[in-house]
Amino acid sequence: MIVARRKPLAEIEAVVQDCTQVLVVGCGSCMAVCQAGGEKEVEILARQLRMRARLASRCQIVDEITLPRQCDPEFLRPLAALVDRYQALVSMACGAGVQLLAEQFAHRPVFPALDTLFLGVNEGPGTWGQRCLACGQCILHLTAGICPKTLCAKGLLNGPCGGTKHGKCEVNAEKTCAWAAIYNRLEKWGRLELIGRIWPPADWSVVDTPARHGTSLAEESAP
Amino acid sequence: MAEPERESFPNAARAFPAREGASGSDRLAGRPVVVAFACTYCAYTAADLAGAMRLSYPAEVRIVQVPCTGKIDICLLLDAFEHGADAVFVAGCNLGDCHFREGNVHAKKEVARCRRLLREVGLEPERLEFFHVPASAASLFADCAREMTKRACSLGPNPLRATPAGDLGKKLALPEDLPPAIPPQDLGKLKTDRANQQKGA
């Protein structure tokens, strides 16, 4: 899941303060789950913006709407009939959603209300932890389901480094050393021989930006 | 009706000047508005008991009965301030006494979060507070009401009172997902020659 955090109110207010009509657009998937841009967060931001406008004696109308998803043009279609009423859209989606919204309604400025952080998992109420770099070359089957590229502070493929101490990381003594965790789990799996594997330098050339995935029309029509 | 509470808060008259055109029957004109969200199992009962015990507490307090403080939502608290409440407090059960196990713990967190949001907006977080008030603690409820009224008086009126809440935006609804049109009954059915002949005839 994509995890994000809301920007400070002052930062959001600064970009919309000149607009008299603003639409806050929420995203009901990842952003709702990580409590950053779902229906409730949209309502809170809209209320805060309205209160700020009143305190600053500004005439500003802030409407709100939450779409099931913002990273899919199909879900943005209902907005087509609405956007012309507004001078700006504030998107509470991840960076991908903000960009698609801006692309679909290029005649209206779209501002992000969130800082997109990482791909992660829920670790407890209101806490999320990064698990994946989206590097395009998954090796989790060889590292006992623990990604050293993400969880090792140094991103080492041939770990652990000399700084590991009693299973903890030298960069942050509170964090578990990813390679110590990999060793322990491989031991449980009975596949400890995998730890001896020497990895060549990672091939970052496969990390293509901007990356695309899916079958193109040309590929589909190819025999 | 005697209004002993007014004397208890000498700041009130200065901080909350009477609204122009307020009628004499509007007893609370020019006085702070304090909203109390009270759990029906504890604080609301305590407020009821305070009445039965003839304990006086400020008439500025407007009590909203909630089935559990777990019902409290940040938007509800912000709504009270948007509509001009000068102080808001949430009164729930003691820790471990919640009828719904941890509604009061949830409410306490919501209040703490809402205080941060208020600070961000530019309102004093002290305008919002959470209190534990057991059902038998009538005098404690009266104390909480007095404390929040005192705070409202010392902080002055909610600056949002100066502008009307009015129609400054709303939640828009997505158009309903309509089901696809129902296909004709004979769609996909093979037609026999006889049926075609009958149709042709």
Q: Is A59 found in the same domain as A9?
A: yes
CATH number, domain of B74, equals 3.40.50
A39 to chain B: closest CA residue: B171
Q: Is A107 found in the same domain as A37?
A: yes
A53 to chain B: which residues are within 8 Å by CB?
A: 168
Q: Is A7 found in the same domain as A98?
A: yes
B120 to chain A: which residues are within 8 Å by CB?
A: 8-10, 48
Contacts of B152 (CB under 8 A, 6+ apart): B32, B33, B34, B60, B86, B87, B127
Domain count, chain B: 1
Q: Per the domain annotation, does B174 fall within a domain?
A: no
Of B123, B168, B171, the CB nearest to A61: B168
Q: Is A170 found in the same domain as A70?
A: no
Q: Which of A39, A47, A63 to mutate: most B Cβ within 10 Å?
A: A47
Output the CA–CA distances (angstroms, integers) from residue A36 to A134, A137, A204, B110, B112, in the order listed: 21, 29, 31, 15, 17
Percentage of residues of chain B with pLDDT beyond 90: 66
CB contact under 8 A, B169 and A50: yes
Query: Where is pLDDT greater, at B179 or A45?
Result: A45
CA pair distance A191, A185, nearest whole angstrom: 9
* Residue B199 banded pLDDT, cuts 50, 70, 90: low
Percentage of residues of chain A with pLDDT beyond 90: 85
Q: What is the mean pLDDT of residues B57-62?
A: 92
Per-residue model confidence (pLDDT) at position A61 = 96
Per-residue model confidence (pLDDT) at position B15 = 65
* Residue B14 banded pLDDT, cuts 50, 70, 90: low
Residue B5 predicted with pLDDT over 60: no
CA pair distance A166, A153, nearest whole angstrom: 16
pLDDT tens digits along B21-33: 444 444 455 789 9
How far apart are the CA of B67 and the nearest CA of chain A, in angstroms? 21
Q: Per the domain annotation, does B22 fall within a domain?
A: no
Q: Per the domain annotation, does A104 fall within a domain?
A: yes
Pairing mode, strands A61-67 and A2-6: unpaired
Q: What is the mean pLDDT of residues A109-129?
A: 95
Q: Is A124 exposed, middle or buried (0-12, 13-18, 19+ CB in 10 A)?
A: exposed
* Residue A175 banded pLDDT, cuts 50, 70, 90: very high
ipTM of model = 0.86
Q: Per the domain annotation, does B144 fall within a domain?
A: yes
Residue A209 predicted with pLDDT over 70: yes
Residue A50, chain B, CB below 8 Å: the answer is yes
Per-residue model confidence (pLDDT) at position B18 = 58
Q: Per the domain annotation, does A215 fall within a domain?
A: no
Q: Per the domain annotation, does A207 fall within a domain?
A: no
CB contact under 8 A, A48 and B78: yes
Output the CA–CA distances (angstroms, integers) from residue B63 to B35, B41, B43, B150, B156, in the order listed: 6, 14, 10, 17, 21
Per-residue model confidence (pLDDT) at position A125 = 85
B176 to chain A: closest CA residue: A78
Q: Is A97 found in the same domain as A17?
A: yes
Arithmetic mean of pLDDT over chain B: 86
Q: Per the domain annotation, does A125 fall within a domain?
A: no
- Structural domain of A34: 2-118
Q: Per the domain annotation, does A214 fall within a domain?
A: no
Q: Per the domain annotation, does B172 fall within a domain?
A: no
A44 to chain B: which residues are within 8 Å by CB?
A: 74-75, 78, 117
- Structural domain of B154: 32-160
How far apart are the CA of B165 and the nearest CA of chain A, in angstroms? 8
Q: What is the mean pLDDT of residues B65-82?
A: 96
Q: What is the mean pLDDT of residues B69-78?
A: 96
Per-residue model confidence (pLDDT) at position B24 = 42
CA pair distance A121, B61, nearest whole angstrom: 44
pLDDT tens digits along A31-82: 999 999 999 999 999 999 999 999 999 999 999 999 999 999 999 999 999 9
Domain count, chain A: 2
Per-residue model confidence (pLDDT) at position B67 = 96
Residue B82, chain A, CB below 8 Å: the answer is yes
pLDDT tens digits along B186-197: 877 777 776 667
Of A9, A43, A57, the CB nearest to B120: A9
pLDDT tens digits along B148-176: 999 999 999 999 988 888 889 999 998 88
CB contact under 8 A, A78 and B75: no
A35 to chain B: which residues are within 8 Å by CB?
A: none
CB contact under 8 A, A52 and B78: no
Q: Is A12 found in the same domain as A108?
A: yes
B78 to chain A: closest CA residue: A47
Domain endpoint, select from A61, A88, A118: A118
CA pair distance A5, B73, nearest whole angstrom: 20
Residue B7 predicted with pLDDT over 50: no
Q: Is the peptide bond before A8 cis (omega within 30 degrees of 0)?
A: no
Q: Is A93 found in the same domain as A48?
A: yes
